[in-house]
Amino acid sequence: MRFRSTRLFVGAAAAAAVCVLSTAALLGQAAPAQAPLTSDTAFKNVTMLKGLPVDTFFEAMGMFANAMGNDCTFCHDKQAYFDKSLFATQTPRMMRARQMMVMMNTINKTYFNGETRVTCFTCHQGNEQPKRVPNLALQYGEPIDDPNSMDLIPNDTFTAEETFTKYLNAIGGADRIAKVTSFVGKGSYSGFDTALSDIPVEIYSKAPEQMTLIVKTFAGDSIRVFDGQNGWMAGPDTPVPLVTLSGGNLERAKLEAMLWYPTPIRTAFPEWKVGLAILGDIDAHVVQGLIKGVPQANFYFDNAGVLVRVVTWTRTPVGIIPTQIDLEDYRDVGGVKVPFFRTVSQTYMQMKVHFKEIQANVPIPASRFAQPAPGTGAIRRTAQQ
Ligand code: HEC
Ligand code: HEC
C-alpha cells in the first residue's frame, strides 16, 4: 500500500464516524462537549461531503485513498504534501470522484434503501481501474478471508463471558487490575509522518478511562486526549488546529482508554457474538460487541487468552470504515500484563507506539487530561478563511 501522503496528518489525525447509525452515548456517555468543526467550515472546496466533523471527513478521504490503492495525491495536487492549502485545488480526479459519489448515492438510494451498501471499495478494491473480466484464480485459488470481517461465522464452542474471564485472568486477574489506577509510560513513536523513524512518545492514563498520548514531533507536541467524555487532537500535524473527536472516533478513543483497565469492557456492549478468525499463525477467538444488532467492535484473543487485536468501525456517508489496533509484547507492570507495542492502522494513517518503560500508580495531575491548546494545524490557513 502506498499511503505516503498520510504523513501529512501524522499519527495525530484520528478518524471519525458519522451518525447514519450514531452510536455516540451508547458505549457510555461519550458525546462531544462542543460541536466539532465541520468540513465545509474548515475547508474551502467541499461541495458534497458537507457538514461532516473534520475527523469523519478525513476518514472519508482515507476510504478514497484505500479504495484507489494509492495515496492522497492520486486525486489531489502533488504539491499538497508541501503546502496543505493545495488540497483545495480542483483536479480532474476530484471531479471524477464527485461523479462517483453521485453514482454511488444513486445506486444505494435506488437499490439498497439508501444504505451505503455499495461503496468506493465495493468496486475499486484498491485499484483505480475496477476489473470487468472474471478472475479464474479467485475461483480456483486459495480463498483469502479478511479476519476483520463484521460478519462472524457463528461458533458455539465458547462464549464471550468465558473469553473475557480467561483474558482478565491471563493478564493478572480482576483483583490486581483493580489495584492499578494509573499508568505513565515513555517510548517511541513511528509512522508515515516520521518516515518510519522513531521519535519520543509519552502516555498518561488514569482509571477508569482517561488517556493522553503526546507525540514529540520535530515541529512540536502532537497531543491526543480522551478526558473520560470528550476527545481531542491538537498539534502541528492535525488537519485543523484542534480536532474534536466525534461519533465512532470518540467511541474508539473511549475504548482505547478503557483497554488499560479492561475489566468493564465485558459489559460495555449490550450484545455479544463470537467467532473464529486466523491472524497470521494465531487461531484467534473473536468476540464482537453489538448495539441493536449492529457490530461495533471485534476483540481478538490468542491461544493464551490475551487480547491481541481490536477492530472498530466508524460510519461515514461514503461507507463503513475500519480501524485496527494491534497489541503485542505484554509485560508485567504493577502485577498486571500490559502491551508495550501497539499499532493503530486506519485508512489514512498508521502509527506504531513502542513503550520502553511503563510505571503503575504514578500520580497524574488532572490538567494532563484537559482540552489541549490548539496546535499550529496543518491546514490552518484554509481553516481561517
Ligand atoms: C479519489 C480521490 C480522492 C482521494 C484519494 C483523496 N481525496 Fe481529498 N478530496 C477529494 C474530493 C472529491 C474532495 C472534495 C469533496 C467535496 O466536494 O465534498 C476532497 C477534498 C479534500 C480536502 C478539502 C480541501 C479544501 O480545502 O477544500 C482535504 C483537506 C482533503 N481532501 C484531504 C485528503 C487527504 C488527506 C487524503 C488522503 C488520506 C485525500 N484527500 C484523498 C478526493 C480525493
Ligand atoms: C459501481 C462501481 C464503482 C463504484 C461504486 C465507484 N467506482 Fe470509481 N470507477 C469505476 C469504474 C468502472 C471506473 C473506470 C475505471 C477505468 O477507467 O478503467 C472508475 C474510475 C474512477 C476514478 C478515475 C480513476 C483514474 O484512473 O483516473 C476515480 C478517481 C474513482 N473512480 C473514484 C471513486 C470513488 C472516490 C468512489 C466512491 C465514492 C468510486 N470511485 C466508486 C467504478 C466504480
pLDDT digits 0-9 by tens, 293-347: 999 999 999 999 999 999 999 999 999 999 999 999 999 999 999 999 999 999 9
Among all bound ligands, the one having the nearest atom to the CA of 101 is: 2
Give buried/exposed letters for 55-72 (b at 16+ CB in 10 A, else e). bbbbbbbbbbbbbbebbb
Q: Is 161:273 a contact under the CB 8 Å cutoff?
A: no
Structure confidence by residue, pLDDT tens digits, 163-174: 999 999 999 999
Structure confidence by residue, pLDDT tens digits, 3-15: 333 333 322 232 2
Q: Which of 117-121, 221-225, 293-297, 380-384 shows the lowest mean pLDDT across its residues?
A: 380-384
CB atoms within 10 A of CB 186: 14
Rounded to the nearest angstrom, the gap between the alpha carbon of residue 223 and the centroid of all alpha carbons in its chain is 16
* Contact 101 CB / ligand 1 (< 6 Å): no
Q: Is 124:130 a contact under the CB 8 Å cutoff?
A: yes
User: What pLDDT does 377 receive?
Assistant: 61
Cell matching residue 114: 439508501
Q: In angstroms, rounded to a whole number, what is the distance separating the alpha carbons of residues 97 and 83?
A: 22
Q: In angstroms, rounded to a whole number, what is the distance separating the alpha carbons of residues 348 and 64?
A: 9
Per-residue pLDDT band at 195 (split at 50, 70, 90): confident
User: Which atom of ligand 1 approaches the CA of 8 most closely?
Assistant: 35
User: What pLDDT does 218 receive?
Assistant: 86
Q: In angstroms, rounded to a whole number, what is the distance separating the alpha carbons of residues 261 and 207?
A: 6
User: Which atom of ligand 2 approaches the CA of 64 most closely?
Assistant: 35
Closest by CA to 132, choosing from 122, 120, 123, is 123
CA dihedral sign, ordered 316, 319, 320, 326:
negative
Q: In angstroms, rounded to a whole number, what is the distance separating the alpha carbons of residues 78 and 81?
A: 7
Whether the per-residue pLDDT at 40 is higher than 60: the answer is yes
* Contact 123 CB / ligand 2 (< 6 Å): yes
Among all bound ligands, the one having the nearest atom to the CA of 86 is: 1
* Contact 104 CB / ligand 1 (< 6 Å): no
CA atoms lying within 13 Å on the CB side of residue 343: 11
Of the chain, the percentage scoring pLDDT greater than 90 comes to: 77
Q: Ligand 1 mean position to 273 CA, how many Å?
A: 36
Q: Ligand 2 mean position to 124 CA, how many Å?
A: 6
Per-residue pLDDT band at 372 (split at 50, 70, 90): very high
Of the chain, the percentage scoring pLDDT greater than 70 comes to: 89
Whether the per-residue pLDDT at 378 is higher than 70: the answer is no
* Contact 352 CB / ligand 1 (< 6 Å): no
* Contact 72 CB / ligand 2 (< 6 Å): no
Q: Is 115:104 a contact under the CB 8 Å cutoff?
A: no
Among all bound ligands, the one having the nearest atom to the CA of 107 is: 2
Q: Which of 92-106, 115-129, 140-154, 302-316 shows the lowest mean pLDDT across its residues?
A: 140-154
* Contact 60 CB / ligand 2 (< 6 Å): no
Q: Ligand 2 mean position to 97 CA, how many Å?
A: 7
Q: Ligand 2 mean position to 152 CA, how many Å?
A: 29
Please, what is the average pLDDT of the chain?
Answer: 88
Closest by CA to 21, choosing from 225, 243, 251, 229, is 251
Mutation test residue for ligand 1: of 64, 89, 91, 93, the one with most atoms within 8 Å of CB: 64
* Contact 120 CB / ligand 2 (< 6 Å): yes
Q: In angstroms, rounded to a whole number, what is the distance separating the alpha carbons of residues 52 and 106?
A: 20
Mutation test residue for ligand 2: of 64, 123, 316, the one with most atoms within 8 Å of CB: 123
* 212-238: average pLDDT: 93
Mutation test residue for ligand 2: of 49, 52, 96, 121, the one with most atoms within 8 Å of CB: 96
Instruction: Look at ligand 2, atom 35, and give the residue with the nearest C-alpha.
Output: 97
Structure confidence by residue, pLDDT tens digits, 353-362: 999 999 999 9
Q: Is 83:92 a contact under the CB 8 Å cutoff?
A: no
The amino acid sitting at 333 is V
Q: Is 371:233 a contact under the CB 8 Å cutoff?
A: no
Q: In angstroms, rounded to a whole number, what is the distance separating the alpha carbons of residues 342 and 326?
A: 5
Q: In angstroms, rounded to a whole number, what is the distance separating the alpha carbons of residues 28 and 326?
A: 23
Instruction: Look at ligand 2, atom 32, and give the residue with the nearest C-alpha.
Output: 97
Closest by CA to 11, choosing from 314, 328, 256, 346, is 346
Q: Which of 6-10, 181-185, 290-294 shows the lowest mean pLDDT across its residues?
A: 6-10
* Contact 61 CB / ligand 1 (< 6 Å): yes
Query: Which residue, chain included where needed, has cell 469492557?
Result: 265
Whether the per-residue pLDDT at 231 is higher than 50: the answer is yes
Among all bound ligands, the one having the nearest atom to the CA of 382 is: 1
Q: Ligand 1 mean position to 106 CA, how many Å?
A: 21
User: What pLDDT does 55 receive?
Assistant: 94
Q: In angstroms, rounded to a whole number, what is the distance separating the alpha carbons of residues 117 and 309?
A: 26
* Contact 57 CB / ligand 1 (< 6 Å): no
Q: In angstroms, rounded to a whole number, what is the distance separating the alpha carbons of residues 134 and 136?
A: 6
Structure confidence by residue, pLDDT tens digits, 41-91: 999 999 999 999 999 999 999 999 999 999 999 999 999 978 888 999 999
CA atoms lying within 13 Å on the CB side of residue 233: 27
